[in-house]
Amino acid sequence: MTMSESLSLVSASKSFGGWIKRYKHHSRALDCEMIFAIYLPPQAENETVPLMWWLSGLTCTDENFMQKAGAQRVAAELGIAIVCPDTSPRGLDLPGEHDSYDFGSGAGFYVNATREPWSRHYRMYDYVADELPSVVRQHFPLNGRESISGHSMGGHGALVLALRHPGRYSAVSAFSPVVNPSTCPWGKKAFSNYLGDDAGAWTQYDACELVAKGASRQPLFIDQGEADNFLEEQLRPERLEAVCTEHDHPLTLRRQPGYDHSYFFIATFIEDHLRYHAERLQKQA
């Protein structure tokens, strides 16, 4: 096997009859060691199962969702595997990489960086779109049917990946996604440093821009907490709502009164998302 195909088990914990496992491998796309987590439901002991990708947000690792979302019970019932990648390359110590929570370490933004010193390692789009899917398909009992979801920066990543790969994902959903990163402080900071100052290069990683260009007809399902302290400055769901209305793009946007940006919000509604994904993964069969 090549280096990227060789996995080293980091930990394993049984949960609702299935297993949460963490693996280390060398990523060629990122040129560093990476860890990802997978939940294998009990059905995976005897048959192949569908897969939901979960992309996490700023400051997170592969562990946040597995430990805080409370998804394993329903995933076990539905027979869905879940893979959680990390959110950026690790162990590099590039200049300025750890200076702020919203850029560099823990903040890969699911793009392929084109500016130095980031371009050699910060290629999270290729890692999540191509390399890691190839790795998990080789090693785990998956049936080829996939969906994708995520939170905040990861919600941005999930929407962008689904819109740029029509037909690949049976379903896409998101919690509190950054829907128009080209125009918000988080996105401007990340995109200008990773991609340069040409805003035209940013549009390929912007859900609102992709919807406007008609990149895909993928239905979008989003939950947004109305008490989210990032709502007005960073998330701006009304912008995606407007562009979807203008271009007749299917969107379900649920505004949840009183809920914030935390995993308490995600844990409250993750069952709805898993059942939404399961229904569409079954239809793809």
Q: Is 21:14 a contact under the CB 8 Å cutoff? A: no
Which residues belong to the active site?
152, 228, 261
Tell me the one-letter amino acid at 227.
Answer: A
**How many degrees, rounded to 5, is the angle at CA 170 between CA 169 and CA 175?**
80
Nearby residues of 276 by Cβ (< 8 Å), 6 or more positions away:
171, 173, 221
**SS percent in the chain: helix, strand, coil, step 5:** 40, 25, 35
Nearby residues of 222 by Cβ (< 8 Å), 6 or more positions away:
155, 173, 174, 175, 177, 237, 240, 251, 252, 253, 254
Handedness of CA 179, 190, 135, 69 (dihedral sign): negative
